[in-house]
Every structure is written in structure tokens, then in C-alpha cells.
Structure 1
């Protein structure tokens, strides 16, 4: 197909795939073959982005079956023939779930996670599993795969913990991807790889069959894509009540009729947007040149919001923001309970408890960061202080939005440029620098990240739209309007290889 030589499939959207299918220019098999060739050329060779842990051996067969269905009756669903990658902590029948760790090497859970089954029912092809921060957290390093590279600077990290999905989507190894966020884990790799990403309000998307789910409530499954409309199309399919993830009861009656149907280019006209400028990212360094490089891009983005007719309130101040965010703490029991809940649904889990895993010989091979997280002993008093701080900050946030009549708050996705891989693997272990986690600290507020330009060093930066609980549809509308007006997304140059 000569269109492939012209770069026809690079940057293609979900709508673009379906338009090409209707025009007879593209089949699901051809699309899968295109992505597999790019993965071979750029992920496994060339710059060796290293974003894919495993490939679905049945992907071409699934594509053939979808092509046959298309010839018989047209599209089978809104994601018909769309190849996507899944952060490797979600279960898909016939594919391993490894968490990027030697602890789960060869783990075959033999089930579909609830939300991922919905994607497959809508016609999606799960092309493969993407790299992640080992055991679902931290930067994208793991004992099973090594480190994932940033697609705009191969010496820098892709971010974490959904760095594999972020890099793969940006590099056009798939049409769209799925990440999971507990601490800027979708938004940071989205911003650092120059794509859009979303952490939906907790309770909209089930985490059953996802490592790091119930009874923990702060982790959320979310879409990652090269454009906001594809985020919304994915979210339309992902949402839904699931009795096996009780938190979804809170979102069951808050689901929008459609997240993709009401996207308009004029959504920012008259929208009242508060600009949060106070430095509040993890280990942020406001006096550094690195911070200032991002700040320059952010200031230009604020001007672009004004140009689109937004009523900008700049700056806003959320009382005690930094002090309250510093209270983040883990539960003394939640991690153990969440681990046990996940493995209880697996056909053959390698371990039945975190304790069993930690005393095994295999645990010695786990990466330094993951070992440190698992070995840290949570303090119940600190966790209690965190819960109080979370309630206080939620009230403070709502009061600011109410008193200033704000429709959304905009802040930097990350306050620093992507860090060097070497700095994350060696002392002082620079990791997650500048990551802002207001949404995951509060749990029940949505965030959407969209590209907002490049720094003077040629590295991507992102803008975050943050809203009230279950105001996900509005955040998508604002992000879409900004994206369509500015078009900051840029496809990375991965090298001289020519993919046929």
C-alpha cells in the first residue's frame, strides 16, 4: 500500500482509521503490520525506545477476524480494528501481566480486566503490553526490561509509571494506549512524550483485574493518545459500574452520556479559568534554569488561553497547598490488601501475598526503587494526617473555585523537563522531579493533559486542566478547544530507518 510510504498512518487517529477503512484504503491487518514494523525498527532496534514488554501473538489473527466482520457488516464498535497498548499491570486473556518485574515473569492471569474487556468488545486489538515503573510505580525502570527512553531525547526518561504507554503512543507504535495513575503516572509521561493523557475521576473506570486496585482508591485507569478526541472516545468505552470494584458505585450515576460527542473548538470562549502558578511539584526546584524553561512555555500557553476567549484569573492561590500536599502518606494495610485482591483473581499467581514475595529469593532481583517502596514501613498516624489534609485541601479547592466562579484550574503538567535516565539510576536518584499530584492527592478530581509547546531545549511541555469531581467531560472540552487552536503536538524523529 503506497500510502504507507507517504506516512499516511503516522499520527493517524481513531476517526482517521475508520475513514480509511470505509474508503477501502486500509485494513486492520495492514494497520497492525505497520505498527509491528515500527516497533521492530525503533523500539527493539534503532534508538531502542524500549516501550513494549510483550506483543500479542494473536494480533494479526484478531485483525483478520475484524476485517472479515467489516466486510460482512461494517464496524463492530467504536474501536473496531484499533491497535492499542496496555500498561503491563492490566490483565488480558492470552497475554502475560508482568508489572515489569522478575516477581511476575511469565505470569498468565488468564482473564480480562473489566475495563479492558470493554475495549475488546468495542473492537480494539490489544497489540501488546507496555513498560512501566516496576510493580506499577516510580519511573519507567524494571528488572524485566531495563529503562524506557524518551522519544524526544533518548538519554532522558519517558517518565512514569505509564512511561511505556506514553512513549509508544508518541512514537506511533499504536493508535492509542492505556495507562494507570496513582501519582502523576499518566500525566507526567504524557507531558514528557508530547501527547494527551487523562486521569478520570476515581469511580468512573473499574480497576478489577488491574494490579494496584481495590481496596486502594487513588489509582485510576486512563486513556493516552496523540489527540484529545481519541482520549474521549476511549473514555466512552472504559467507563461503567463494576461490582468487583466498589469505588465504581460512586461514579455509576455520574457518567456522561458521551465524552466525545460534545467536543467543540469554541469551548474556551467565556470559560473562567484559574491559573495556578505556585510551585507545588514533587522535589521541584523553582530557582533552577530547568524549572524556568518550563515556566516560559507555560506563560505562553496562558496567553493562548486568553486568545481563545477564556476569562483568565491569573494567578489563583489555594490556601496551604504545598503544606497539605506534603502530608501524602500510605496506608499500613492497603498495599497488602490490594495485592491480595489482585492475585486472588489470577489463574496462577506466583505469590499469594506481598510478604511471600518479599521473602523469596526472586525479590533480590527487583529494582532498587521498587524494593525501597515495598520495604518502607507506612505509619498509620501519618496516614491519618494525610486523610485530614485531603479533606482540608478538597474544601480549600472548592472554596477557591466557588468564590472566583471558576470552571477549571490550569497548571503545569510537570514543573521540570524530562530527567536523565542516568540520574534516575544513580545517586541521588532523581525521579519524578516536578510532578504535580493535586488530583491524585484528592482522588476525586479529574485532570486532562494536553501538549502546550516545547522548551528552548526542544523538549515537550504539557498543560493540565483540573476540575471538580466528575467534571471530566468539561475538562475534555477545554483541552480539545486548546489543542485544536494551538496544534502543539509534534511527531518525534526516531531516526533514519524506513518502515514499509
Structure 2
């Protein structure tokens, strides 16, 4: 067993277990060693799981020895620290929950553990998944590609942990881009599923109509594998739905797939390196047989503003019980809650009407195309000190720019998949987002898998790990 065994993906790890090259106990130890080596710098991990992980790894080793492995037997994973794990802290990145011990385990965690995976750690988040990068309880999570930059939010620790190869898979949540933006800025493949496709039972509540739970990893193959495990209805979450599995026929090469190319809004504020990666991605799909068609999304320009209005209003209602403790909150979160509290019932209802109009607009577009390709984020990762993004040499406020392409999916409820397309001149990842019709994650995942079989952007190593490899 070598120290880098924790860096392997799901298939490689399962193959190594099957051939006796390593075992889940050794891989858990290697994963913990990577956390010990890198996390003082990155600050991705809130809690390292102890006895629970040891028991799971030992059970996985026994199952491999007996020839009875489950689908994810012995695969190490992490979860964003908004998901309850019985007997462990769930801080949600807040001083208000600093000592909260969970008495239940979130449905998604139970499903992954039931498939044989080993929970290694709980990962950092912005406060209640809606605060700013400088978390008042745990501090900021730094980006493995450039530690002066942020990993993104709100699934901040999940993204940094995966990019640093602590383990191959993680579970995040996404209310405005919180899986996809950190995935984009850390070179990962992250999926925000259809609203209701994955239950939120056992997750700290935020926004019932915009937030979705989803998988993150370093490849489309691993993200798809994890999604299959966590999706499906849990009746304790009234918004979760049965996942339809009939008629799933997405195939590669994509000769019968049409990719929608949007109008100018998504490229008006977009760095040239991001656009170059986008164009290269579309060219690969065309060469593989996909068709392209220009599409109009006239409501897209308002989707970010209206989506935030819905998110902030619902978050303010969710956190109303703590209104007397605003001094203990992250100032960014307080500002967002105030914005939500100022939303009138009439404005909220108008926002919901806009959501319906956006859904109808997307439904019309999806009659002509199978997916829509968008820039995942308009820039590469932001500077932590200034909280700005650099777009063609100009600095833009982080919060103004980051969700231009992502909030569209949260407001409408459709799925969005982010995957890396390359690196900019500073060596930071660029990414693209595939937006699909409801419950057609398979189309986006199949295109991403085919792209990654033909290219190697998803295999690039952050400088932090390149130095490790060289030594």
C-alpha cells in the first residue's frame, strides 16, 4: 500500500480491494494522513470522524474478505457540515450551533453508508450555507489551486477536500450555486440535481424551494455513481420525489443530442479563459457528433436577482427564531437575512410567478435541445482578501458575479452539472455547466463522461499536490 491510495477514484479503489492490493482500513488511514498533511493550510475539515469510521472500515474489510462487497464498499467520503451524523457535531458553520450534537443521521449519509462507504470527515461551509467566505466559527476554506483564493461556497470544505484528494466523493448542498461554484473553482464535477430528486431529511434547513442536495467528485463517473445511491424519495421530506428510471437512454457518442448555445447575457461578464474553455468543450461535443442550436433565455437576466430574493426571504423565515442573536451571525448572513425580511408578501408572490414563467420558458427551450451549455462561473476563483473576481483584468464584486449562471437552476428547479474544461493563465480551473430538463441528469452526466474520456482537464493536479508528486 502506498500513501497515495486515498487519491484514487471509486473504480480504481474497488479494483484495488478486489485484487488485494489494499484494504479499507489502510485507505482510511491514508485519507486521514492527507488531512493531517494539508488541512492546516486548507482548513477544509471541521470534524474528523473517529470510531464510526473505524468500525465502517473494519466492516468493509471483512466484507471484501468474505466476497460480499456492497456497491461502495470501503470507499471513503466526506459530507458538508450541514448534514446530521448521529453522535457528531453539526455546526453548519455557525457559532449558534458550535456545540450541537446530532441525534439522527441524514438520509443521504445513511444511504451512502448502507452502500458500504466510510465516512471520514465533515467539511466546512459558509454559515448556514448562506454566509460569506470568512466564516466566524471556523475561518475561510482555502483553494488548493491557489491558497490565496477561496474554494467557493457554500460547499467550501467539500470542494477543497476533493481537490486535495482527501477522498474521492462528497455530498454538498446547493441553494444558488453552492455545489457548482466551488466545483468550478476547484476543478471538480458537481451536480445540483432536479429539485426534490434527493431528500434533505437530516440537513440543517435553509430554503425549502431553492436548496437541493447533490454529489461532488473529481469525475463524471464518480458523481454519477454517487447520485444513483442518494437519489429517490424519502417521505419524511415532503418535497422529495420518486426518481423516474424508465426510458433513461442517454448514450455516447451523442449523435442524437442537441446542445443549446445561449444568447449573449451569459457571456457579457465572462473571462476570456472561461470562454475559451467553454468553446473547447462545445467543439469536443460537436466533433463527437452532437448538434448545436442557439437558444434564447430572455428571463435569465433576472433569474439571479429573483432567485436571491426567494432564497433570502425563505432563509430569513427559517432563521427568525434566532433574530435576537444577530450579533453572533456572520455579517454577510445578517445582510442577506435583512434583505429577506424586507421582502413583502406581494414581492414574494411576484417572485414565485416569475419562477413559473421561467419554468415555462425553459420547457419551451427543451423542446428543441437536450441540454443547455453555460459558463459555470464568469471567472476563476476569487481572491480571499479582496472578495473580488478578476474578469479580463477588471475586478468585479464576488457576490455580484458568482451566481450569474447557477441561480437559474435553483429558481426553476432543473438540474445543473459543472465540470472542468482547463486552466487559466494563473493555473486555476475553468469550467462549464450543463443544464438539463427535470430528471434528465443522465443526459448531462453522459456528455460529461464522454468529454472526460476524450480529455484530461479533470485529471489536472493543484500545485499543492504537484509538489507532492515531484518529491
Q: 1:269 aligns with which of 242, 247, 255?
A: 255
Q: 2:36 aligns with which of 37, 40, 46?
A: 40
Q: Does 1:379 find its partner at 2:368?
A: no
Q: 2:94 aligns with which of 93, 101, 113?
A: 101
Taking a change above 3 Å as real, the CA distance of residues 374 and 185 of structure 1, as seen in their structure-2 partners, is same
Please state whether the residue corresponding to 1:108 is helix, strand or coil.
Answer: coil
Deviation string for 1:253-281 (max 9, x for gaps)?
x432698xx775x2423311111253349
Q: Does 1:319 find its partner at 2:289?
A: no
TM (normalized to structure 2)?
0.90
Find the aligned partners of 2:322 and 2:470 in 1 and give their Cα distance. Answer: 42
Aligned to 1:255: 244
Tell me if structure 2 keeps the 8 A contact 1:419–1:431: no
Taking a change above 3 Å as real, the CA distance of residues 82 and 434 of structure 1, as seen in their structure-2 partners, is same
CA drift of 1:170 comes to 1.1
Aligned to 1:88: 81
Q: Does 1:295 find its partner at 2:275?
A: yes
Aligned to 1:64: 58
Find the aligned partners of 1:463 and 1:418 in 2 and give their Cα distance. Answer: 14
Tell me if structure 2 keeps the 8 A contact 1:445–1:466: yes
In the TM superposition, 1:141-220 aligns within 5 A as: 141-212=134-205, 216-220=208-212
Find the aligned partners of 2:119 and 2:164 in 1 and give their Cα distance. Answer: 17
Please state whether the residue corresponding to 2:426 is helix, strand or coil.
Answer: coil
Find the aligned partners of 2:97 and 2:200 in 1 and give their Cα distance. Answer: 19
Deviation string for 1:320-377 (max 9, x for gaps)?
321354333237974366x4xxxxxxxxxxxxxx3442313xx423322122223331
Find the aligned partners of 1:144 and 1:116 in 2 and give their Cα distance. Answer: 24
Taking a change above 3 Å as real, the CA distance of residues 327 and 157 of structure 1, as seen in their structure-2 partners, is same
Find the aligned partners of 1:118 and 1:98 in 2 and give their Cα distance. Answer: 22
Aligned to 1:227: 219
Taking a change above 3 Å as real, the CA distance of residues 255 and 72 of structure 1, as seen in their structure-2 partners, is same
Aligned to 2:14: 18
CA drift of 1:132 comes to 0.9
Q: 1:79 aligns with which of 68, 72, 79?
A: 72
CA drift of 1:70 comes to 2.4
Deviation string for 1:4-30 (max 9, x for gaps)?
3xx4542x1111111100100111111
Q: CA RMSD in A?
A: 2.6
Taking a change above 3 Å as real, the CA distance of residues 311 and 331 of structure 1, as seen in their structure-2 partners, is closer
Find the aligned partners of 1:172 and 1:272 in 2 and give their Cα distance. Answer: 34
CA drift of 1:236 comes to 1.1
Tell me if structure 1 keeps the 8 A contact 2:220–2:449: yes
Aligned to 1:330: 310
CA drift of 1:292 comes to 2.4
TM (normalized to structure 1)?
0.85
In the TM superposition, 1:458-497 aligns within 5 A as: 458-489=427-458, 490-494=460-464, 496=467
Tell me if structure 2 keeps the 8 A contact 1:81–1:123: yes
Tell me if structure 2 keeps the 8 A contact 1:186–1:198: yes
Taking a change above 3 Å as real, the CA distance of residues 302 and 106 of structure 1, as seen in their structure-2 partners, is same
Please state whether the residue corresponding to 2:213 is helix, strand or coil.
Answer: strand
Find the aligned partners of 2:258 and 2:125 in 1 and give their Cα distance. Answer: 36
* Unaligned runs of at least 5 residues, structure 1: 340-353
Q: Does 1:424 find its partner at 2:418?
A: no
CA drift of 1:465 comes to 1.2
Aligned to 1:343: none
Find the aligned partners of 1:332 and 1:139 in 2 and give their Cα distance. Answer: 14
Q: Does 1:393 find its partner at 2:393?
A: no
Aligned to 1:349: none
CA drift of 1:379 comes to 2.6
Find the aligned partners of 1:323 and 1:370 in 2 and give their Cα distance. Answer: 22
CA drift of 1:98 comes to 0.3
Taking a change above 3 Å as real, the CA distance of residues 333 and 197 of structure 1, as seen in their structure-2 partners, is closer
Find the aligned partners of 1:17 and 1:263 in 2 and give their Cα distance. Answer: 26
- The structure in which a higher percent of residues are helix is 2
Find the aligned partners of 2:247 and 2:11 in 1 and give their Cα distance. Answer: 16
CA drift of 1:32 comes to 0.9
Taking a change above 3 Å as real, the CA distance of residues 167 and 453 of structure 1, as seen in their structure-2 partners, is same
Find the aligned partners of 2:380 and 2:352 in 1 and give their Cα distance. Answer: 31
Taking a change above 3 Å as real, the CA distance of residues 408 and 101 of structure 1, as seen in their structure-2 partners, is same
Please state whether the residue corresponding to 1:387 is helix, strand or coil.
Answer: helix
Q: How many residues align?
A: 459
Deviation string for 1:55-89 (max 9, x for gaps)?
101222321232123223431x2111111110100
Tell me if structure 1 keeps the 8 A contact 2:260–2:369: yes
Tell me if structure 1 keeps the 8 A contact 2:358–2:412: no
Find the aligned partners of 2:80 and 2:60 in 1 and give their Cα distance. Answer: 23
Aligned to 2:392: none
* Unaligned runs of at least 5 residues, structure 2: 389-394
Tell me if structure 2 keeps the 8 A contact 1:131–1:165: yes
CA drift of 1:180 comes to 0.1
Taking a change above 3 Å as real, the CA distance of residues 228 and 43 of structure 1, as seen in their structure-2 partners, is same
